[in-house]
Amino acid sequence: MTVAVDAFSLKSKHLADDVVLIAADWVEWENGVVAKKRKVYGAKGQWTFSLYESGVAWASSAAKYLRDKAKSGDTVVLAVDEGARFSLDSTTCYVIGASTSFPLTGTVNKHYFTVTFREV
């Protein structure tokens, strides 16, 4: 699966597609009993990808770029087109989580990273 984030075209091994509700929960007394109440104000999309890149120096890697975006709170544009399986039109997102692992043996400049995006 290919994932486009800003100017990067990335390879993905896994995708989780979630919905995050924007809601309020409270307890109120109703007809002599305690009742749990909920008001849903909306929902935001959230996507987590397991990505990898090879042959890219850390300084110019997508992994570093996305970690920096998470730290700064800046937005990115995310798009996925896998036809009938899954597609996501260009969507402005925050990077809300990023972790990277580096194999200690084998290919130099190979990065495995997991990134979570949430719709603005």
**DSSP result, 43-73:** EEEEEEEEEEEES--GGG-HHHHHHHHHHHT
Task: Considering only the C-alpha atoms of the chain, give the largest distance between any 2 of them, rounded to a whole number of Å.
Answer: 67
Q: Which two tokens stand for residue 36?
A: 């749990």
Q: Cα(58)–Cα(79) distance, rounded to whole angstroms?
A: 23
Query: For 6-47, how does the pLDDT look when each residue is reduced to its tens digit (9 = 90+)?
Result: 999 999 999 999 999 999 999 999 999 999 999 999 999 999
pLDDT band at 83 (very low <50, low <70, confident <90, very high): confident
Task: Inform me whether the pLDDT recorded for 82 exceeds 90.
Answer: no
In DSSP terms, 18 is beta-bridged to 46
Confidence of residue 75 (pLDDT cuts 50, 70, 90): very high
Q: Is the pLDDT of residue 107 over 90?
A: no
Q: What is the CATH number of the domain that holds 60?
A: 2.40.30
Indicate the average pLDDT of the chain: 94
Residue 32 domain boundaries: 2-119
Give the chain's domain count.
1
Q: Does residue 1 register a pLDDT over 80?
A: no
